[in-house]
């Protein structure tokens, strides 16, 4: 289980300490959830996409949005009919389909989902998992909880990678029949063998996970040490000032708007 979300690059965020960067992530998520002004939410999303473009490349800007595209489509289809306040734009008999309040709420939800996903994608793509765990421990998180976060961050990408490999293997085995069976029913039918193979792989990896937990000292009562440590808070004072300034500027903008 060595899969990571970290992508090597040379952008400005790579040299940023994970502690203030994590604080900025939490603030961004809170701002997306609390703020209702579409201009503020849209502007913050645009800033995050610009940082993704600068740090990871222009080709990766839409990756976080594509990852939740089904959720965004369902939000766009289901939100307006259940929010019928305001000016009516479209109705079917007595049933109101589209109003200005429904459109605003739909746009707000889409911006929130996209912004939160893009913020996490930017953070974990520019932060090594080990550095993130050290940052959590420096902020007071107990070692068992930090180790749980580590396993989650590495296990989920590993399972996605496993699913992709197994799916490709099944496609190669049934290459001759795919052309003649491209319907939805056949795709669902082919999905079950893939999921069963992934489940078997996950069950077979339990002993390796147990040994990894034991080697990492999970459940031990003695204090945990680390071969690597983050620098002191004094050495990142400039980064803390920058982070505080960004938080203050966005808070002021949100209040004024």
pTM: 0.77
Q: What is the DSSP string of 113-172?
A: HHHHHHHHHHHHHSS-HHHHHHHHHHTT--HHHHHHHHHHHHHHHHHHHHHHHHHHHHHH
Model confidence pLDDT, tens digit, residues 202-229: 787 777 777 766 766 666 676 666 677 7
pLDDT digits (tens, 9 = 90+) for 10-27: 778 888 899 999 999 999
Inform me whether the pLDDT recorded for 114 exceeds 90: yes
Q: Give the Cβ contact number of residue 18 at 10 Å.
A: 23
End-to-end CA separation in angstroms for the chain: 46
């Amino acid at each position: 289980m060595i899969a990571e979300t970290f992508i090597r690059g040379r952008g400005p965020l790579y040299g940023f300490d994970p502690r203030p960067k994590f604080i900025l992530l939490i603030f961004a998520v809170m701002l997306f959830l609390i703020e209702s002004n579409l201009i503020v939410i849209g502007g913050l999303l645009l800033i995050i996409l610009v940082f993704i473009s600068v740090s990871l490349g222009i080709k990766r800007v839409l990756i976080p949005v594509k990852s939740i595209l089904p959720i965004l489509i369902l939000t766009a289809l289901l939100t307006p009919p259940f929010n019928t306040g305001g000016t009516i734009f479209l109705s079917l008999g007595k049933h109101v389909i589209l109003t200005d309040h429904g459109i605003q709420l739909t746009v707000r939800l889409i911006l929130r989902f996209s912004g939160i996903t893009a913020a996490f994608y930017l953070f974990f793509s520019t932060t090594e998992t080990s550095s993130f765990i050290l940052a959590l421990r420096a902020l007071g998180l107990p070692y068992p909880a930090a180790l749980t976060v580590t396993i989650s961050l590495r296990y989920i990408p590993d399972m996605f990678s496993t699913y992709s490999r197994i799916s490709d293997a099944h496609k190669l085995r049934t290459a001759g029949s795919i052309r003649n069976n491209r319907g939805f029913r056949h795709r669902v039918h082919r999905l079950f063998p893939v999921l069963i193979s992934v489940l078997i792989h996950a069950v077979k990896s339990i002993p390796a996970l147990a040994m990894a937990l034991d080697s990492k000292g999970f459940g031990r009562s003695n204090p945990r040490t680390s071969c690597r440590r983050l620098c002191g808070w004094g050495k990142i004072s400039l980064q803390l000032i920058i982070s505080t300034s960004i938080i203050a500027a966005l808070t002021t903008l949100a209040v004024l708007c």
